[in-house]
Structure 1
Amino acid sequence: MDIPDDLIALERAAEEQRARLAGLDGEEYEAQRRAWRQAATAVQAAITDHATASGEPRYKVEMAVKRAARHGDEDPAE
């Protein structure tokens, strides 16, 4: 399955936002959580759009995006 680079970049951006939650609390945590949720919502919408346009099952597109985003890279949460 051919996964566009922009989908991979969106997934990586969402994971980076999630990783930034570590060690935060209070208002800083809530602000970062909102940033992560916005990034996660954007990637989910883009995955749905790509699946619809390509005719591929959405879950397969999502799994391919996640694999491609993590391939060869360390988990940003570590």
Structure 2
Amino acid sequence: MATIDFPDHLIALERSAWAEIQRGELTVETARAVHEAVVAFAAESGLARLDVEMGLKKAVRHPDPELAA
């Protein structure tokens, strides 16, 4: 899978969801906001929704240390 250039707002939404998941407090509203943003980004970019979702989770949960430096 190629690296996807995610917009800042999508990264921020996934970071919020991941923080809620880690605290055991994920809300339906947060999950829905991430899902809807992923679907919209996938449609706009012509990418498969699953590829966008998996890439976003990887970017937030397992960032490349070389890119973060």
Bin for the TM-score computed over the shorter chain: 0.7 to 0.9
Superposed counterparts of 1:10-21, under 5 Å? 10-21=13-24
Give the RMSD, CA atoms, in angstroms: 1.8
User: Under a length normalisation based on structure 1, what TM-score does the superposition of the two structures give?
Assistant: 0.68
- Cross-structure match for 1:62: 53
Percent same amino acid among aligned pairs?
Answer: 42
Query: Structure 2: how far apart are the matches of 1:44 and 1:18?
Result: 15
Based on CA coordinates, which of the two structures has the bigger radius of gyration?
1
Deviating above 4 A after TM superposition, structure 1's stretches of 4 or more consecutive aligned residues are none
Higher RCO (C-alpha 8 Å, min separation 6):
1
Q: Which runs of 5+ in 1 are unaligned?
A: 22-31, 73-78
